[in-house]
């Protein structure tokens, strides 16, 4: 019984540490655009800056827009796919990619599902119409 128990505990410890090591390596931290400048891959959280031009260009086959990160830095983001569904509605965006020359090249883009998210401002619009 004894050696079996020790073996079992060893296996569990080994498994857990391997899992945690691997997990630790597979996550990274959210950064802002300034910090992203010196990193290989970054996750940046922010909101769409709708006061500036955005859209898909058929020449470059990219979707581009301006995004304001949580610290207020605004940068142009390019995304090599079409505009995702729900883009305009998203209350928050997460872009994953690389910063080059003040332009963020996103490989992935996540949008916070907006259907469950409303605040008073939208109600004001509803009132007007």
Partner 1 sequence: MIATAGHLLLSGAFLTSLIVMGLYAASALKDNLSVERIANRMWYLKGVLLLLSSAALVYIIMTHQFQYYYVWNYTSLDLETKYLFSAFYGGQEGSFMLWILISCLVGVGLIKWTRKPYKAPVMFVMALTQFFLLSMIVGWDLSFAKIGASPFRTIAQEMPNAPFIQANPDFVPVDGTGLNDLLKSPWMMIHPPIIFVGFSMMTVPFAFAIASLWTKTYHEWIRPALPWTLAANLSLLTAIFLGGYWAYETLSFGGYWAWDPVENASLVPWLIGTAGIHAMIVQRKSSRAHKASLFLSIMAYVAIVYQTFLTRSGVLADQSVHSFVDLGLYGQLLMYILVMTFMGLGFYLYRYRDLPSPQKESKFLSREFMTFTGSMLLLILGIIIIVGTSSPIIGRFFVENPTPPEIQFYNDWSMPIAIIMAFATVVGQYLFWQKHTWESLAGVMITPLLLTSTATVVSIVLGEVSNIYYMIYIFAGWFTVIGNSTMLISLIRKNPKLIGGTLTHIGFGVLLLGIIASSAYTGPLLDQRTASYNARVAAGEVYDEEGFPVTQPREMFSLDLNRPTLVNNEYMVTYEGYELSDSPRPGQQTYRLRFESIDNGRVFYMYPEVYPMLTTSSRTNIEWSVDPHVQTGWMSDYYLYVAGSKYVEQKNEELEEQNRNQDPLVSLQEEADERQTIEIGQGESIEAGPFSFTFMNFTPALEEELPDSTQIGIRSLVRITHTPSGNAFDVEPLFAVYTEDEVSYTYSPPLEIERWGMTVSFTRIFPESDTIELTVDGLDMEFEEDWVLIVAEEKPFVSVVWLGTFLLMGGFTISIFRHWAREKNTEEKE
> Under rule CB under 8 A, which residues in 59-98 are in contact with partner 1?
61, 80-83, 85-89, 92, 94, 96
- For the range 106-110, what are the long-range contacts, defined as Cβ-Cβ under 8 Å and sequence gap of 24 or more? 106/77, 106/78, 106/79, 107/80, 109/79, 109/84
Give the 3-state secondary structure of residue 25: helix
Q: Taking CB under 8 A as the rule, does residue 51 contact partner 1?
A: no
Q: Taking CB under 8 A as the rule, does residue 38 contact partner 1?
A: no
Report the distance separating Cα 30 and Cα 44, nearest Å. 6
The nearest distance, CB 2 to partner 1, in angstroms, is 13
List the one residue from 3, 5, 27, 38 that touches partner 1 (CB under 8 A): 27
Query: 47 exposed, middle or buried (CB, 10 Å; 0-12, 13-18, 19+)?
Result: middle
The nearest distance, CB 9 to partner 1, in angstroms, is 15
Is the distance from CB of 77 to CB of 102 less than 8 angstroms?
A: no
The nearest distance, CB 3 to partner 1, in angstroms, is 13
Which run of H or of E encompasses 20? Answer: helix 2-26
Q: Taking CB under 8 A as the rule, does residue 3 contact partner 1?
A: no
Q: Taking CB under 8 A as the rule, does residue 125 contact partner 1?
A: yes
Q: Is the dihedral of CA 24, 68, 92, 61 positive or negative?
A: negative
Q: Taking CB under 8 A as the rule, does residue 35 contact partner 1?
A: no
- Kindly list the residues in this chain that would bind partner 1 in the complex (CB under 8 A): 15, 19-20, 22-24, 26-30, 43, 45, 55-56, 58, 61, 80-83, 85-89, 92, 94, 96, 100-101, 103, 105, 107, 110-118, 120, 122-127, 129
């Amino acid at each position: 019984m004894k050696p079996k128990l020790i073996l079992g505990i060893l296996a569990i410890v080994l498994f857990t540490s391997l899992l945690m090591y691997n997990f630790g390596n597979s996550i990274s931290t959210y950064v802002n655009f300034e910090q992203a400048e010196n990193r290989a891959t970054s996750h940046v959280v922010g909101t769409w800056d709708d006061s500036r031009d955005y859209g898909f260009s058929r020449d470059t086959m990219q979707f581009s827009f301006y995004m304001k990160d949580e610290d207020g830095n605004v940068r142009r983001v390019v995304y090599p796919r079409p505009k995702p569904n729900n883009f305009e509605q998203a209350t928050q965006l997460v872009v994953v990619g690389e910063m080059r020359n003040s332009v963020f090249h996103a490989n992935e883009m996540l949008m916070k599902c907006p259907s469950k998210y409303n605040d008073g401002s939208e109600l004001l619009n509803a009132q007007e119409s």
